[in-house]
Amino acid sequence: MIFITGGAGFIGSHTCLELLNAGFSVTVFDNFCNSQPEALVRVQQITHKELTVVRGDIRDRFSLEAALRKSGARAVIHFAGLKAVGESVQLPLSYYDNNVTGTLCLLQSMQSCQIKTLVFSSSATVYGNPQYLPLNEDHPLASTNPYGQTKLVIENMLRDLQRSDATWRIGILRYFNPVGAHASGLIGEDPQGIPNNLLPYVAQVAVGKREFLNIWGNDYDTPDGTGVRDYIHVVDLALGHLAAVNKLENQGQCFTVNLGTGIGYSVLDVVRAFEQASGKPITRQYSPRRAGDVASCYADPRHAQELLGWQAQRDLATMCQDAWRWQGKNPNGYSGH
Ligand code: NAD
Ligand code: UFG
C-alpha cells in the first residue's frame, strides 16, 4: 500500500494510475484545493482497479495521521502543495504554510506511525539561475521566489531527518517541466483560470479558448531567442516514481535525482510541435520577458538512469499529441464531465 498526498493532482493522478497498473494498492489523501475527485474516478475507470480516497488537509495532523495509520501504507509519495511561482510572491505565507508546515505534519505523522519511506516532489527551481548546463544534482542550490524557497527548506529538512535517523529512506525527485497527458485522453492537466505554464496555454489557444499566445521574450541568449526548457512527459515522470519507490524498498538507500529528458526545447520548438500535433495554427505575439524567467534550463538525467534504471522515453511530438487529445476531449477540464 502506498499513501499518496496530493494524488488527485496532475502528476499525482498519473502516478496513481501507473502504481495501480503495477499492482500496488493506493490511498490518496487530498483536500482538492487544486484538483477534482473526478480525476481519480477516471484513474479507476482506466485501470479497472479501485483506490481509496480520503479528503483532508495535510496540515490537519490529526486527520492525516488517522488516515495514514488506517491505510496500512509502507511508503508515502508526497505531491501535496501549492506550485504557482507568481502566486507565491503574492502569498508567501500560504506557500510556507501549505508546503513547509504541511510537510512537517506529514513527517511527524509518518514517524509516529513508524512509516519511514518517502518520495518527495522537488523541482528544478532549487537550482536557481543556472551557473552551467546541463544541470546535474551537484549544481549549487538557490532560489529566486517563495515557492522555490519552500522546496529548498523541505529538502534541507529531509536531509537533516535522514542524518538524525538512518532508518529513514528518502528519495528526492527534482522534476523539470512536466507536460502531456495519459494516452487515453481521460486524465490530464486541468489548470484553474488562465494557465501560467506554456503547454496548457498553447493547448487552450489551439482549442479556441484563448486568442493568442504571448511569448515572453525573444531576446534570450538561446538559438532562436525564446526560453529553453526540459519538457518531460507526465507518464515518464510517473514511471520515475515507481522506479524510486522500488529502489527505496529494495535497497533502502537515500537519493536525490533529476527527472528530465536532458533535451532543451525553445518556446518556438514547442509551438511548432503543437501545431503539427493538433493541425491548428497557434496565433502568437512576442511580449517582454516574464519576471524571474531564466534563458535556459535542462537536466543532466544520467544519475537517475544509473541509479534507478529509469529514462524518459516519450518525445516532444508525443507530449503534444497527448496534451492535445486531453484538451480536445475535455475542453473544460474535469468540470465539463
Ligand atoms: P497539482 O496542483 O496538480 O497537484 C497538487 C495536489 O495537492 C492537488 O490535488 C491539491 O489539491 C493537493 N493539495 C495541495 N495542498 C494540499 C494540502 N494542504 N492538503 C492536501 N492536499 C493538498 O500539482 P502537480 O503539478 O501535480 O504537482 C505536484 C507536486 O510536484 C507539487 O509538490 C509541485 O510543487 C511539484 N512540482 C510540480 C511541477 C510542475 O510543473 N507541475 C514542477 C516541479 C515540481
Ligand atoms: N512561456 C511563454 N508564454 C506563456 C507561458 C510560458 O512564452 O504563456 C514561456 C516561458 O517564458 C518559459 C517557457 O515558456 O520560457 C516555459 O514556461 P512555464 O511557465 O511552462 O515553465 P517554467 O520553466 O517557467 O516553470 C516551471 C514550473 C515551475 C518551476 C520552474 C522551475 O512551472 O513550478 O519550472 O523548475 F518553478
pLDDT digits (tens, 9 = 90+) for 87-107: 999 999 999 999 999 999 999
Query: Is 307 part of a structural domain of the chain?
Result: no
Indicate which residue of 96, 127, 147, 220 is catalytic: 147
DSSP at 180: -
List the domain range (segments joined by +) for residue 59: 2-180+231-261
Ligand 1 site residues, Cβ closer than 6 angstroms: 5-6, 8-12, 30-35, 57-59, 79-83, 98, 102, 121, 123, 175, 178
pTM of the model as a whole: 0.98
Determine the distance separating the centroid of ligand 2 and the alpha carbon of 284, expressed in angstroms.
Answer: 16
pLDDT, tens digit, for every residue of 200-229?
999 999 999 999 999 999 999 999 999 999
CATH classification at residue 144: 3.40.50.720
Choose among 80, 117, 73, 87: nearest CA to 102: 80
Amino acid at 239: L
Looking at the structure of the chain, the number of domains it has is 1
The pLDDT of residue 337 is 64
Query: Is 216 part of a structural domain of the chain?
Result: no
Determine the distance separating the centroid of ligand 2 and the alpha carbon of 265, expressed in angstroms.
Answer: 12
